[in-house]
Structure 1
Amino acid sequence: MFFRLTNIFKGILSLFIKDLERKNPEALLELEQENLRKQIANFNQGLAAHAGLAERLMSQVRKQEAEERELHARTTAHLRAGNKSAAAQNALRLQNLGRELEENRRQLAQAEETYQNLTKAREVAVAAARSKIEALKGAINDLRMKTAMAEMNEMAAGMVSSIGGSGDTLNRLHEMVEEERTQAAGRARMARDSMDMSEVNLKEAEMDALADQALADFAAKEGISLPGQEATPEAPANRSMGGSNPQSESQ
């Protein structure tokens, strides 16, 4: 019974986690990227250790090659000098050193080949993982964009349905606005018709008459004839002034 309950709990937890992963693919992708970085770091540590082993083998090979050259020279010198015992001992050491050197060279070649293969495998694996990650990033972005577009389309469809369903309300609102506008226009017309314009017209005529009179006075003073008005001749001077009366002359 406990085992069955444990399986049910694991199943529920697995569904919950799977749902979280579906809702947050970016977080899962970031976790995989972090795991990839850790794997690369661990692989690089192992590769560095292998490279160190190859360097030690290379150093040992170089040391043995130098020792081989020295033993070869000693053996040759003792043999030419007639020191057969010393030459034999050096020849034996040279023979053993040759076998060790050959083995170390073989191990060095294998280590170098393994290092190159590991380096190539790392580059290929990292390139493949990065390519997959970039493809997943593009797929996630496309998913987000399509999800957003679907939500916008659903929202637009809901708005259309909502606006279509509120047609009666809009019609009633339009009727109320038209009724208020008509009443306001009627009140404005009634106020305009009830306004007493006689006094205003009288005042306007008075102002026009005063303006015409002022213009006529100015024109008369300046001796200018207004359009539609003939020039008024000046009154003749008094004949009695500066002239003689004919009757008086006859007397």
Structure 2
Amino acid sequence: MFTRIANLFRGFLSLFIKDLEKRNPEALLELEQENLRAQIASYNQGLANHAGLAERLIGQVRKLEAEEREVRARTTAHLRAGNKAAAAQNALRLQTISRELAENRAQMEQAETTYKDLVRARDVAVQAARAKIESLKGAINDMRMKTAMAEMNEMASGMIGSIGGSGDTLNRLHEMVEEERNKAAGRARVARDSLDLTDINLKEAEMNALADQALADFAAAEGISIEDGSANPEPAPAQRSMGAKPASEGESA
């Protein structure tokens, strides 16, 4: 029972961590870069140890080469001097040195070859890892950009659906405005049809008649013809003075 509960807990924890990794790929990539740097440092440490071994072998080869030349010279000298026993001992020593020198040379060449192979393998692995990291960076950036574009497109699609769809707020507002406008137009028409213009027309005719009469009186006083607007050539009759007597028929003018 406890094992099943532990497995269930590990499963939930794994799902939670996986979800976090999906949400934060940059953090996971940065962690992998740190791991790569740590691996390169550890690999370089081992490579340095191997290089030290190769350098020791080189030093041993050089030492044996010098000793071989020295023993060879002594063997030759003893042999020419007739010291066969000493020459034989040096010859035996020379064989041992030559055998050790051959073995050390083989080990040195193998160590050098291994070192070069390790360096090349490191460089290839690092280049491949860096290329993959750069590719992942580009993929993450592209993912972020496409995710943002998708969210913007979804938002735009939602806006278009909410604004242009039937039964939305703008359509209801448009219908309400049209309804109120039609009601206002109907009220204006009813008010216009119910307006009594009889008194207004009568008053307007009376005002026009008074204006025409005033104009006629003014034209008559000034001696101006209303039809063509010219002055009347005949003089206006002179008015009698108060208290004057009319002339008799027998009197001459």
Normalising by structure 2, what TM-score? Answer: 0.66
Give 1:72-221 correspondences, 5 Å limit.
72-164=72-164, 165-168=168-171, 170-171=173-174
Report the AA paired with residue 17 of structure 2.
I
Offset of residue 74 of structure 1: 0.8
Q: CA RMSD in A?
A: 2.1
Which aligned runs of 4 or more in structure 1 are off by greater than 4 angstroms?
172-175
Report the AA paired with residue 3 of structure 1.
T
Q: Distance in 2 between matches of 1:107 and 1:156?
A: 72
The runs of 5 or more residues in structure 1 that have no matched partner are 179-251
Q: 1:173 to 1:101 in 2, by over 3 A?
A: farther
Equivalent residue, structure 2, for 1:19: 19
Q: 1:78 to 1:10 in 2, by over 3 A?
A: same
Q: Distance in 1 between matches of 2:16 and 2:135?
A: 26
Offset of residue 66 of structure 1: 0.7
Normalising by structure 1, what TM-score? Answer: 0.67
What are the Cα deviations for residues 208-248 of structure 1, in whole angstroms up to 9, with x where unaligned?
xxxxxxxxxxxxxxxxxxxxxxxxxxxxxxxxxxxxxxxxx
Q: Distance in 1 between matches of 2:140 and 2:11?
A: 26
Give 1:46-85 correspondences, 5 Å limit.
46-85=46-85
Report the AA paired with residue 32 of structure 1.
E
Offset of residue 159 of structure 1: 2.0
Report the AA paired with residue 100 of structure 1.
E
Which structure would you say has the larger Rg?
A: 2
Q: Distance in 2 between matches of 1:141 and 1:59?
A: 53
Q: Percent identity?
A: 73
Offset of residue 7 of structure 1: 0.5
Report the AA paired with residue 168 of structure 1.
N
